[in-house]
């Protein structure tokens, strides 16, 4: 992806949902995109697949190359050939994603047969049972005949993952895959996602605000704030030494075993309106590093290498000052 900018129409005006972002992903890699709600995570990937409403979303610029084609220039028919086959999505709310009047088995079978004309109904049904078994759904022969409302939340998420991996996609987009699930089920879903990657050999884009999930699964992390990428780093580097004050604040807000403080840390203030963004760095009104410095107030920092030749990128004028701070020092 290169230079993607997306605006959304609203009653207040045009929302600058995504602003000039770009990234690469490679086979077998897990790329996590993290940030608060409204930071542009889901909008950026949904735009790639033509899943944004055309009367609401405006693609201002950008291109997204996948398999030698620019996804942003494909027609609806061509996108349908890509969706579910080469690129699959695990949506945040599986109950809203399944058809309530069709059985789970019918829906997985349909996903297979749409992209494989040679697949018979019997073979697709057998494959559906196999997929449900692979993702840990008990008694898959019976479960295939059941409807979405007969599944628990965790089982619906497993069924959604089974359908996503049905055609062995090269890229799997997991949009908040553990939201609203308890910790035990979350751990099981993490294991299932690892299985998916082993089964398909493809790449995964993990969209989440759950940093624990990022630590378990991701290879690289993009941190988004107010529609822009503010930091890019390997997962180990990011957790060990963040190079953007927003990333540091996110990590500081995590509870830690053995912490004796009475309250969790939070990030002061709120994310700015994406209709009227402040001048300079969008994070500076909430930043503990800015100290209301003129440079932060007047000039938006570019996303650039933190050190010469480094693959770590940060959009902060004073990122090197973070070397002097210890995020675990309370």
Q: Flag whether pLDDT at 17 surpasses 70.
A: yes
pLDDT, one tens digit per residue, over 86-96 is 999 988 777 78
Q: Flag whether pLDDT at 330 surpasses 60.
A: no
Residue 225's pLDDT is what? 96
Give the strand order in the sheet containing 87-90.
87-90, 171-175, 203-208, 30-34, 220-225, 228-234, 313-314, 304-305
Residue 191's pLDDT is what? 86
Nearest to 217 by CA among 178, 179, 248: 178
- 222 sits in the region (left: phi over 0; alpha: psi -120 to 50; else beta) called beta
CA angle 202, 214, 254 (to 5 degrees): 175
Helix (H, G, I), strand (E, B) or coil at 286: helix
CB–CB of 114/81 below 8 Å?
no
Helix (H, G, I), strand (E, B) or coil at 224: strand
Q: Flag whether pLDDT at 127 surpasses 70.
A: yes
Residue 328's pLDDT is what? 47
Can you read off the two tokens belonging to residue 290?
């800015």
pTM: 0.90
CB–CB of 116/167 below 8 Å?
yes
pLDDT, one tens digit per residue, over 31-85 is 999 998 889 999 999 999 999 988 999 999 999 999 899 999 999 899 988 998 9
d(CA 4, CA 21) in angstroms, rounded, equals 5
Q: Flag whether pLDDT at 280 surpasses 90.
A: yes
pLDDT, one tens digit per residue, over 174-211 is 998 887 677 788 888 888 888 888 888 889 999 998 88
Higher-pLDDT residue of 181 and 122 is 122
Residue 279's pLDDT is what? 92
pLDDT above 70 as % of the chain:
96
Q: Flag whether pLDDT at 324 surpasses 70.
A: no
Comparing 2-6, 174-178, 212-216, 319-323, the range with the smallest average pLDDT is 319-323
Residue 329's pLDDT is what? 47
Q: Who contacts 223 (Cβ-Cβ below 8 Å, separation ≥6)? A: 34, 35, 229, 230, 231, 232, 238, 244, 246, 247, 250
């Amino acid at each position: 992806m290169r230079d993607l900018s997306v605006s959304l129409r609203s009653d207040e005006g045009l929302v600058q949902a995504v602003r000039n972002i770009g990234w690469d992903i490679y086979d077998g890699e897990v790329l996590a995109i993290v940030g608060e709600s409204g930071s542009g995570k889901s909008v950026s990937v949904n735009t790639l697949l033509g899943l944004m409403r055309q009367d609401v979303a405006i693609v201002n610029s950008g291109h997204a190359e996948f398999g030698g084609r620019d996804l942003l220039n494909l027609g609806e028919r061509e996108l349908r050939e890509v969706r579910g086959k080469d690129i699959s999505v695990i949506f945040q709310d599986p109950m809203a994603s399944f058809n309530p009047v069709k059985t789970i088995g019918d829906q997985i079978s349909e996903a297979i047969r749409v992209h494989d004309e040679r697949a018979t109904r019997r073979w697709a049904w057998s494959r559906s049972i196999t997929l449900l078994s692979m993702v840990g759904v008990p008694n898959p022969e019976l479960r295939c005949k059941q409807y979405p409302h007969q599944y628990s939340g965790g089982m619906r998420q497993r069924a959604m993952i089974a359908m996503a991996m049905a055609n062995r996609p090269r890229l799997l987009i997991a949009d908040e895959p553990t939201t609203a699930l308890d910790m035990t089920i979350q751990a099981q879903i993490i294991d299932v996602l690892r299985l998916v990657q082993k089964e398909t050999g493809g790449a995964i884009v993990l969209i989440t605000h759950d940093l624990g999930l990022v630590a378990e699964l991701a290879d690289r992390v993009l941190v988004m704030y107010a529609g822009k990428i503010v930091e890019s780093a390997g997962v180990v580097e990011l957790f060990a030494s963040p190079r953007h004050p927003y990333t540091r604040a996110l990590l500081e807000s995590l509870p830690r075993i053995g912490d004796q403080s009475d309250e969790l840390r939070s990030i002061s203030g709120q994310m700015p309106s994406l209709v009227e963004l402040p001048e300079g760095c969008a994070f500076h009104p909430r930043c503990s590093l800015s100290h209301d410095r003129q440079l932060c107030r007047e000039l938006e920092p570019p996303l650039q290498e933190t050190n010469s030749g480094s693959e770590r990128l940060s959009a902060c004028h004073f990122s090197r000052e973070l070397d002097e701070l210890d995020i675990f020092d309370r």
